[in-house]
């Protein structure tokens, strides 16, 4: 890299004090990188620190943009020598903004986006900066896919480490259920192989345990035959029918095959091309389905969704799987303020549905929504102790997704989400999907349940000093 002028920087230490890095220390860090060292004095610093959720406005002391595992190893060892607080960013999509910490050293993996597919072995090797769109682009070229989430700009790394579910998970399991191996840089700066034969306890922990145990520099996923065309689309119902349609949706889900996944969304109608302009911006219930299998069977299954109520219109039909994976992207663009609350449910009771409709009538902003995701199927056929992700009883996940632009609306939107969360708590399992936690560590026990103690033991074995603490943190046992 080019020579550059250095200046002293103050960085937070692990103990909460500060460490001063002089120009010699900074030169030492920069000289061992193939990637880039970015400080607040650099022109690209402000852009480099931005992440998806605009509510998160933290300023790291310096940013190391890594290009490979060697950069990660060098940076971790440097941070350990100088007792520095670090945070780690993949694609920067985490709702809680855990990838950023004020005055810390940010290890930025967003440039490590390579995806390599072996179509014969049906394996994909994926870098920690890759997005779901990067992965789908490469795998769908061969008619293959790995179950991931629903927004193509989401990072593969964060999604995977928390569990990962989406449109084909009922057929093929969670993202972690398809993770066959990973390479990880430990808190000591060593590169470890994690699979069933190597560091098996760590392999267990990273399948749902978040970024607590190290920095994954490479993921290896099992792939499945999917598409390239599936049958999918949304049906839009008047909000006045929401209670009845959600009850019919609940009953429909009971007999749904694994090939079919159906979600419900309460929100103001986006300008979908099949909707009359008069419906745009009005409150609706959207039932979204995807069938991964025989086209005729899929068209028959989705046709049944039209009968859940008196629909306004629908967009059901064949479409490229990769395109449907991007269908929600316009509603989830970066730069808005976002706050989420979430619960798991084993069923949708009448009381819960009434509460959904009640709060759905009072969404606090035009971009806010309530979505109910159908789980079950292959996800729930795995032992809760087989991976760190324990929620193999959940049939539905509710995400209370508040989204707005003006900071003046922070309190109204957050208060609404918290009130809704509390109102639905009595019907929930007590578990929560860790990737949907917006704030704090108050729900870590709920995220890991009976697996928490084992996770704390693995943490103690691989990171006894809690070096990796800027996350939904599991403390060493």
Q: What is the pLDDT along the chain (477 residues), one digit of tens a residue?
A: 344 455 689 999 998 899 999 999 999 999 999 999 999 999 999 999 999 999 999 999 999 999 999 999 999 999 999 999 999 999 999 999 999 999 999 999 999 999 999 999 999 999 999 999 999 999 999 999 999 999 999 999 999 999 999 999 999 999 999 999 999 999 999 999 999 999 999 999 999 999 999 999 999 999 999 999 999 999 999 999 999 999 999 999 999 999 999 999 999 999 999 999 999 999 999 999 999 999 999 999 999 999 999 999 999 999 999 999 999 999 999 999 999 999 999 999 999 999 999 999 999 999 999 999 999 999 999 999 999 999 999 999 999 999 999 999 999 999 999 999 999 999 999 999 999 999 766 689 899 999 999 999 999 999 999 999 999 999 998
DSSP label of 378: G
Task: Give the DSSP H/E element, type plus range, for residue 342.
Answer: strand 337-345
Range of the domain at 160: 115-225+449-462
Considering 74, 108, 142, which residue would you say is the last residue of a domain?
108
% helix, strand, coil for the chain, step of 5: 35, 25, 45
Residues 213 and 239 in one domain: no
Residue 1, in any domain of the structure = no
Residues 296 and 319 in one domain: yes
Which CATH number do you get for residue 319? 3.40.462.20
Which CATH number do you get for residue 201? 3.30.465.10
Residues 417 and 279 in one domain: yes
Residue 348, in any domain of the structure = yes
Q: How far apart are CA 180 and CA 220, in angstroms?
A: 6
Residue 4, in any domain of the structure = no
> Can you give the pTM of this predicted structure?
0.95
Are the CB atoms for 139 and 145 separated by under 8 Å? Answer: yes
Are the CB atoms for 406 and 413 separated by under 8 Å? Answer: no
Residue 235, in any domain of the structure = yes
Residues 299 and 185 in one domain: no
Residue 474, in any domain of the structure = no
Alpha-carbon dihedral angle through residues 109, 111, 112, 116, given to the nearest 10 degrees:
150
pLDDT of res. 232: 98
Residue 3, in any domain of the structure = no
Residues 352 and 327 in one domain: yes
Residue 468, in any domain of the structure = no
Are the CB atoms for 313 and 236 separated by under 8 Å? Answer: yes
Which CATH number do you get for residue 85? 3.30.43.10
Q: 37: helix, coil or strand?
A: strand
The number of distinct structural domains making up the chain is 3
Q: How far apart are CA 118 and CA 112, in angstroms?
A: 19
User: Residue 291 forms beta bridges with which residues?
Assistant: 231, 260
């Amino acid at each position: 890299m080019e020579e550059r002028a250095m200046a002293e920087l103050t960085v937070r230490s692990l103990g909460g004090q500060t460490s001063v890095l002089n120009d010699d220390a900074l030169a030492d860090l920069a000289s061992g990188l193939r990637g880039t060292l970015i400080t607040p004095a650099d022109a690209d610093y402000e852009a480099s620190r931005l992440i998806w959720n605009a509510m998160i406005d933290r300023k790291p002391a310096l940013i190391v943009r890594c290009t490979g595992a060697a950069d990660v190893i060098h940076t971790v060892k440097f941070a350990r020598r100088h007792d520095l607080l670090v945070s780690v960013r993949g694609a920067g999509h985490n709702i809680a903004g855990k990838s950023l910490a004020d005055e810390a050293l940010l290890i930025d993996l967003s440039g490590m986006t390579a995806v390599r597919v072996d179509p014969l072995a049906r394996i994909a090797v994926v870098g920690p900066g890759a997005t779901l769109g990067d992965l789908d682009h490469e795998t769908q070229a061969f008619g293959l896919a790995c179950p991931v989430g629903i927004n193509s700009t989401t990072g593969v790394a964060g999604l995977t480490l928390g569990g990962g579910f989406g449109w084909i998970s009922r057929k093929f399991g969670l993202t972690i259920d398809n993770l066959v191996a990973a390479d990880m840089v430990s808190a000591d700066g060593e590169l470890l192989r994690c699979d069933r034969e190597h560091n098996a306890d760590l392999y267990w922990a990273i399948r749902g345990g978040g970024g607590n145990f190290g920095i994954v520099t490479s993921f290896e996923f099992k792939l499945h035959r999917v598409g390239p065309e599936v049958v999918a689309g949304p049906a839009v119902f008047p909000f006045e029918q929401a209670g009845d349609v959600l009850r019919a949706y609940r009953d429909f889900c009971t007999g749904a095959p694994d090939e079919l996944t159906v979600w419900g969304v309460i929100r103001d109608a986006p300008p979908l091309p099949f909707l009359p302009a008069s419906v745009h911006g009005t409150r609706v219930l959207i039932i979204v389905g995807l069938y991964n299998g025989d086209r005729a069977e899929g068209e028959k299954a989705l046709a049944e969704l039209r009968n859940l109520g008196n629909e306004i219109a629908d967009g059901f039909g064949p479409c490229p799987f990769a395109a449907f994976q991007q269908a929600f992207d316009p509603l989830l663009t970066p730069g808005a303020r976002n706050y989420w609350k979430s619960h798991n449910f084993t069923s949708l009771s009448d009381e819960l549905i009434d509460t959904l409709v009640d709060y759905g009538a009072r969404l606090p902003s035009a971009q806010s929504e309530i979505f109910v995701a159908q789980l079950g199927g292959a996800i729930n056929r795995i032992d809760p102790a087989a991976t760190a992700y324990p929620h193999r009883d959940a049939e539905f996940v509710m995400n209370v997704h508040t989204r707005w632009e003006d900071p003046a609306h922070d309190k109204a939107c957050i208060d609404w989400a918290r009130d809704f969360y509390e109102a639905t708590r009595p019907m929930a399992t007590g578990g929560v999907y860790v990737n949907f936690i917006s704030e704090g560590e108050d729900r870590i026990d709920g995220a890991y349940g009976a697996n928490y103690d084992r996770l704390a033991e693995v943490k103690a074995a691989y990171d006894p000093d809690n070096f990796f603490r800027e996350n939904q943190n599991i403390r060493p046992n």
